[in-house]
Chains A and B, each alone.
Chain A
């Protein structure tokens, strides 16, 4: 599941990083393409694609820095949702 989620995240990000093959552990903020509009779009994408709610406490840049970290956040939230 984790790998499938990474593929989905990578596909979404490829729209914004067209000329760059993103690695799973690559810092997207360090690449310099990120603006506030992208940040909004990213949160919306993650919530819609993975049917999770990103809360105020999740709003730490580190959670969104790499594909790996986003996938980990989604997994963590999916587990929590299933427990509820």
Chain B
């Protein structure tokens, strides 16, 4: 076991860190206020190649390993949760096409996705189907050489600007995934505003009214849409969100340390107060622990280990829940200043909560992690024999 980044990974980390400070942090509050990803920020991410971070080089991607991809999402998450959301969903769709696309689909879409010429959105959630993804009501009916899609998708991240949607629908009662171009007649996108956090995620409702697509736009086979397409997409999404939580928690820690060092009360900096020190030390430990869980998940993903799936659930659960505590303490340390948008911690507080909902709520994680333990962790334990004293 070797618990350290490779020289290449460390180099990437430095590059991502500098990029975020230069291009992401300065526009993050504006993204939040204007409820959009600022075009300059998007352009800088595209120019840096980050939209192809998860794709191999032969399709124009960066060919990063999963640990490095995780570091990128951590750093972007440190700066702006909305930008990290864009990277997440774009990657989910890109990887689904890479894994299950036909040669024609891969050649058509992956270079454009890697270059940022096409932005992708993931269309699974519906007004009546969130955690219960099996209950989606969107339908796909094969009519000659076309599928006809009808239904409504809701809370779809970056749908306001996406060119390509990965839409999940039921075809003869079986789940299936379809690539749907934005300009297809019958597809309408209605922007949604007023999110609590990650307000620049440019979410929208996507309505398909007898939207016709060529039957070649089916991704994979009918029947494998949820288990083998949506779930691996969500697995990648969960991984990047976990990493993004580490980044946001790191931003909280840095803000708490800075404020605690400079804010004077009772004639001395807050940092001299042992109750403040306790909060900061807990933050530091929790961030380190969450980061290690993410590195482990990333490593297991890189070697294709099936345990990576549960380790990703674990990392996302730990990272998103520890973030809730850390961001609360950060606001607490900032006092009134933490409750006002004059300081970014107010945004961090709202952004953090979103991470406990998306790609599986905290409670879904608790149910699934426990279930897995009950299934795989069972060992026959003999009760202690009664001791008989004479």
Residues of A in contact with B (beta carbons under 8 Å apart): 12, 15-16, 18-19, 33, 36-37, 39-45, 47-48, 56-57, 59
Q: Quick check: B221 and A59 within 8 Å, CB to CB? A: yes
Q: Does B388 contact A (CB under 8 A)?
A: no
User: Do A16 and B227 touch (CB < 8 A)?
Assistant: no
The 6 closest A-B pairs by CB, nearest first: A44-B306, A41-B306, A48-B304, A36-B227, A45-B306, A59-B224
Query: With A16-B376, A44-B306 as given contacts, are A37 and B220 in contact (CB-CB < 8 Å)?
Result: no
The distance in angstroms between the C-alpha atoms of A45 and B228, with both chains bound, is 14
On whether A37 and B221 interact (CB within 8 A), knowing A44-B308, A44-B309, A47-B304, the answer reads no
In the assembled complex, 14 residue pairs joining A and B whose CB atoms fall closer than 8 Å, in A order, are: A18-B376, A33-B375, A36-B226, A36-B227, A37-B310, A37-B372, A40-B235, A48-B303, A48-B306, A56-B221, A59-B220, A59-B221, A59-B224, A59-B228
A18 touches B378 (CB 8 A): yes
| B4 close to A (CB within 8 Å) | no
User: Is B231 at the interface (CB under 8 A from chain A)?
Assistant: yes
Which residues in chain B, 200-238, are within 8 Å of chain A measured between CB atoms?
220-221, 223-224, 226-228, 231-232, 235
Interface centre among A18, A33, A39, A56 (most CB of B within 10 A): A56
Main secondary structure, interface of A, reads: helix
CA distance A43 to B100 in the complex (A): 13
Please give 5 more A-B residue pairs, beta carbons under 8 A apart, in addition to A40-B227, A44-B306, A56-B224.
A16-B376, A37-B368, A40-B231, A48-B303, A56-B221
Q: How far is the CB of B168 from chain A (nearest CB, A)?
A: 13
> Interface of B with A (CB < 8 Å)?
100, 102, 220-221, 223-224, 226-228, 231-232, 235, 303-310, 368, 372, 375-376, 378
The smallest C-beta distance from B296 to any residue of chain A, in angstroms, reads 16
Q: How many Å from the CB of B171 to the closest CB on chain A?
A: 15
Nearest CB to that of B226 among chain A residues? A36
Chain A residues positioned under 8 Å from B376 (CB to CB):
15-16, 18
Whether A37 contacts B304 in the complex (CB less than 8 A), given A18-B376, A19-B378, A59-B224, comes out as no
The docked-state distance in angstroms from the alpha carbon of A12 to that of B372 is: 15
B306 cross-chain contacts in A, Cβ below 8 A: 12, 40-42, 44-45, 48
- Do B231 and A37 have beta carbons less than 8 Å apart? yes
Cross-chain contact B378 with A39 (CB below 8 angstroms): no
Q: Once the chains are docked, how many angstroms separate the CA of A15 from the CA of B377?
A: 8
What residues of chain B lie closer than 8 Å to A59, measured between beta carbons? 220-221, 223-224, 228
Closest to A42 in B: B306
Of all chain B residues, which has the CB nearest A46? B306
Q: Is the CB of A40 within 8 A of B309?
A: yes
Closest partner residue, chain A, to B305 (CB atom): A48
Q: Which residues of chain B have C-beta atoms less than 8 A from A42's C-beta?
A: 306
Residue in B226, B227, B306 whose Cβ sees the most chain A Cβ within 10 Å: B306
Give CA–CA (A52, B100) in the complex, Å. 15
Contact call B220/A36, Cβ cutoff below 8 A: no
On chain B, the residues within 8 Å of A48 by CB distance are 303-306
* Nearest CB in chain A to that of B313: its residue: A37
- Complex formed: what's the CA distance from A59 to B309 in Å? 19
Q: How far is the CB of B233 from chain A (nearest CB, A)?
A: 11
Q: Select from chain B the residue with minimum beta-carbon distance to A38.
A: B375
Cα–Cα distance between A48 and B368 once the two chains are bound (Å): 24
CA of A56 to CA of B105, assembled, Å: 13
Nearest residue (CB) in A for B301 is A44
Residues of chain A contacted by B303 (CB below 8 angstroms): 48
A1 to chain B, nearest CB (A): 21
Residue of B nearest to A33 (CB): B375
Q: Which B residues touch A36, using CB under 8 A? A: 226-227, 231
Report A-chain residues with C-beta under 8 Å of the C-beta of B227.
36, 39-40
Which A residues lie within 8 Å of B220 (CB)?
56, 59
